[in-house]
């Protein structure tokens, strides 16, 4: 990829909006399927809105454009402790629906095109409502986790939803940009903020293979090991491993916007992790 694209600071947000526009249909379809399933007395499916948060750091002068992804490392108080995640969390339908009405009435969302014909108009309106709902969800949770001011966030679009394997949960990811001068204030559910330069994702040597196995305390019939692709990020505290749902969401973003393909991992570095029972529940 030509990384000079990342230096086109004014054009990049417009490019992201344009390439993500077709993904808006996925939110409404998936949300409708989940509501239908939950109303049919099947095992309840949970939902969560998250932000894939881009920020342009003025002090990141060694990177083209200074763009970073702002992620969180989950603390031991919550499930999936130690994992790197997008800011966001579980949907609270009543609270988040009331919050979402502000976005619709005040034109907070990017314009979603309406086609000629009542059926298409209804579908477009449903897309807008669903995106508003999960944007409200993700912003409320990001305020609680990081004290991120919703007024300092600009929505660029949505990504395809992702369903977790260990949890009955579907993630609704939204791509957004925040102001470069904001200072995160993590709550006890967040161990620390992790900023990964966007250019790191385009370097083949950033990637590795993550070998995951379950301890005897974890209730599963398959102890592993399971192999996952991962990104190995170096910061002041050592190595941080991006894998799982957040890795998949990020790869979707890079593939859709930049046509990026994951490199061959056959000869890449290997890292190992053992999952214990508190991985599912946390140590509250």
Q: How confident is the prediction for the chain on average, in pLDDT? A: 85
Confidence (pLDDT) at 117: 43
More confident residue, 280 or 172: 172
With respect to residue 148, please indicate whether it lies within any of the assigned structural domains.
Answer: yes
Look at residue 158 and tell me whether its pLDDT is greater than 70: yes
**How far is it, in rounded angstroms, from Cα 104 to Cα 107?**
5
pLDDT confidence band for 207 (50 / 70 / 90): very high
pLDDT at 108: 53
171-184 burial: b if 16+ Cβ within 10 Å, else e: bbbbbbbbeeeeeb
Task: Encode pLDDT of 227-237 as tens digits.
Answer: 999 999 998 88
Lowest mean pLDDT among 174-178, 253-257, 275-279: 275-279
pLDDT over 80 (residue 257): yes
Domain contains 244:
no
Chain centroid offset of residue 143 CA? 15
Number of domains observed in the structure of the chain: 1
What pLDDT score does 128 carry? Answer: 84
- Give the mean model confidence (pLDDT) for residues 156-171: 88
Tell me the residue range of the domain where 172 lies.
23-204
| More confident of the two residues 104 and 23 | 23
- Residue 160 token pair: 């395809």
Whole-number percent of the chain with pLDDT over 90: 53
Please state the rounded mean pLDDT for residues 119-144.
84
Q: Write down the pLDDT at residue 116.
A: 37
Asked if residue 100 has pLDDT above 60, the reply is yes
Strand ranges (E), the chain: 46-56, 67-74, 84-85, 88-90, 153-158, 162-163, 169-178, 190-197, 207-214, 226-235, 238-242, 269-275
- Residue 266 resides in a domain: no
Q: List the Cα angle 273/274/280 in 5-degree steps.
A: 115
| CATH number reported for the structural domain that contains residue 123 in this entry | 3.90.79.10
CA angle, 142 as apex, 140 and 145 as ends, to 5°? 115
Q: What angle do CA 171, 141, 84 make, to 5 degrees?
A: 60
Nearest to residue 72, comparing CAs of 137, 159, 142, 168?
142
282 falls within a domain: no
Asked whether residue 277 is assigned to any structural domain, the reply reads no
pLDDT at 75: 94
Bridge-partner residues for 132, per DSSP? Answer: none
CB crowding 218-233: b at 16 or more within 10 Å, else e: beeeeeeeeebbbbbb
Q: How far is CA 121 from the centre of its chain?
A: 28
Query: Has residue 18 been placed in a domain?
Result: no
User: Most distant CA pair in the chain: distance in Å?
Assistant: 58
Residue 30 lies in a domain: yes
What secondary structure, in 3-state letters, does 221-275 show?
A: CCCCCEEEEEEEEEECCEEEEECHHHHHHHHHHHHHHHCCCCCCCCCCEEEEEEE
Per-residue pLDDT, 125: 78
Average pLDDT over residues 182-187: 94
Whether residue 246 lies inside any domain: the answer is no
**CA-angle at 284, arms to 91 and 215, nearest 5°:** 95
Q: Which pLDDT tens digit goes with each residue over 38-78?
A: 776 666 789 999 999 999 887 765 566 689 999 999 998 89
Give the pLDDT band (50/70/90) at residue 26: confident
Mean pLDDT, residues 234-241 taken together: 91
């Amino acid at each position: 990829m030509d990384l000079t694209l990342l230096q086109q600071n004014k054009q990049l947000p417009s490019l992201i909006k344009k390439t993500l526009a077709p993904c808006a249909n996925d939110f409404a379809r998936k949300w409708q399927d989940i509501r239908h399933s939950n109303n049919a007395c099947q095992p309840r499916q949970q939902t969560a809105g998250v932000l894939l948060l881009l920020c342009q750091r003025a002090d990141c002068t060694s990177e083209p454009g200074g763009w970073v992804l702002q992620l969180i490392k989950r603390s031991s108080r919550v499930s999936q402790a130690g994992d790197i995640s997008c800011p966001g969390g579980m949907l609270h339908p009543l609270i988040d629906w009331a919050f979402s009405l502000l976005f619709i009435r005040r034109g907070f969302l990017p314009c979603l095109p309406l086609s000629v014909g009542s059926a298409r108009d209804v579908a477009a309106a449903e897309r807008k409502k669903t995106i508003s709902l999960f944007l409200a969800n993700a912003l409320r949770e990001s305020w609680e986790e990081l004290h991120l001011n919703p007024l300092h966030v600009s929505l660029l679009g949505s990504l395809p939803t992702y369903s977790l394997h260990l949890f009955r949960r579907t993630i609704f990811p939204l791509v957004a940009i925040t102001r470069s001068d904001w200072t995160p204030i993590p709550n006890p559910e967040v161990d620390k903020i992790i900023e990964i330069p966007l250019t790191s994702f385009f370097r083949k040597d950033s990637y590795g293979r993550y070998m995951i196995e379950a301890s005897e305390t974890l209730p599963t019939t398959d102890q592993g090991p399971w192999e996952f692709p991962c990104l190995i990020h170096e910061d002041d505290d050592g190595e941080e491993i991006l894998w799982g749902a957040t890795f998949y969401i990020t790869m979707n973003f890079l593939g859709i916007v930049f046509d990026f393909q994951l490199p061959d991992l056959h000869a890449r570095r290997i890292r190992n992790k053992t999952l214990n029972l508190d991985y599912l529940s946390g140590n509250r």
